[in-house]
Amino acid sequence: MSAVGAIVAAPPRVSDATTEPAWVRRALIAVALAFLGLFLFVPLVAVFAEALKKGVDVYLAAIVEPDALAAIRLTLVAAAISVPLNCVFGVAAAWAIAKFDFRGKNLLLTLIDLPFSVSPVIAGLIFVLVFGLQGWFGEWLRDHDVKIIFALPGIVIATIFITFPFVARELIPLMQTQGIEQEEAARVLGASGWQIVRRVTLPNVRWALLYGVILCNARAMGEFGAVSVVSGHIRGQTNTMPLHIEILYNEYQFAAAFAVASLLAGLALLTLVLKIVVERRVAAQASGATR
């Protein structure tokens, strides 16, 4: 073993014949870090730097301004409605798919993933086709004075579409590997269906559920394309945070745009931190055997 090889710490499980020379390792690490630095780290830093460019006063003023507060409120409300609904759907879908064997399961799995492969803009467009003035229910909605497009319901339903698969995606694989023995035992001991879900299944998947909710929430609060199509951009009324950022940016109020953006970037960082914590818990729960 060369002395140089010992300096760059290689994982102990890899012996010398199956790893690269030290200079190759260093070069590859440098390339990877340069690529990630250029495309990930620098943009993230830039958000906060641009937000604080004109000082803390400008930063705070941009956030407590009434239109910004209205946008923050709307974003929170839309997420507060869409995330729990997708959460209930995720648990129901996972219960049916993971605990029962039925025809058409693979097709159902593909259909649940479908929103991931639809462009956000098209997701917005389809709800305009259904609920818009010239859409299927357009006349009926107008006659009954119900506003969906260019109002909160449209924003919520577009957000639900975009974040549709997140919770189900996290729960299904985990619940499939956990099998049904524990639920069957609970059943034999006389538990009702709701008792089984509440006392056996959900505790077993609680970290994966939390992770799904976190991802779902991050996407719900940050969704731009779909919401942009259905919101109508009415300032102070139907502007979510990402749309408010767009308006500020197009008005050349860069510091204010980045100030609001920094809140969402903070949320993204929080999401990443929570993800690490939850992943450790899931790993710990898995290695600690099923309780």
Partner 1 sequence: MLFSRALLKRHSVLPGFDLALGFTLLYLSCIVLVPLSAAFLKTFTMTWPAFWDAVTAPRVVAAYRLTFGASFAAALVNAVFGLVVCWVLVRYDFPGRRIVDALVDLPFALPTAVAGIALTALYSGNGWIGSFLPFKVSFTPVGVWVALTFIGLPFVVRTLQPVLEDLHGEVEEAAAILGASRLQTFGRVILPIVTPALLTGFALAFARALGEYGSVIFIAGNLPMVSEIVPLLIITKLEQFDVPGATAIAVVMLVASFLLLLAINGLQAWTRARQGR
- What residues numbered 26-85 form the site for partner 1, per CB under 8 A? 28-29, 31-33, 35-36, 38-44, 46-47, 50
What backbone torsions phi and psi does residue 174 show, to the nearest 5 degrees? -65, -45
What backbone torsions phi and psi does residue 176 show, to the nearest 5 degrees? -65, -40
- Measured from the CB atom, the residue of 110 and 176 that comes closer to partner 1 is 110
- Measured from the CB atom, the residue of 28 and 60 that comes closer to partner 1 is 28
For residues 48 and 162, give the distance between their C-alpha atoms in angstroms, rounded to a whole number: 27
CA 62 to chain centre: 26
Element (H, E) at 161: helix 152-163
Taking the complex as a whole, the smallest distance from the CB of residue 245 to partner 1 amounts, in Å, to: 5
Element (H, E) at 267: helix 254-287
Tokens of 115: 């929103």
The single residue listed with the structure tokens 């760059």 is 8
Residue 99 in contact with partner 1, rule: CB under 8 A? yes
Tokens of 142: 């107008």
- Measured from the CB atom, the residue of 60 and 129 that comes closer to partner 1 is 129
Taking the complex as a whole, the smallest distance from the CB of residue 144 to partner 1 amounts, in Å, to: 19
Residues 169-228 interacting with partner 1 (rule: CB under 8 A): 180, 183-184, 187-188, 192-193, 196-197, 215, 218, 221-225, 228
Contact pick of 1, 13, 181, 252 for partner 1 (by CB under 8 A):
13
Amino acid present at 69: L
Residues 112-151 interacting with partner 1 (rule: CB under 8 A): 112-115, 117-122, 125-130, 132, 134-136
Contact pick of 71, 81, 157, 278 for partner 1 (by CB under 8 A):
157
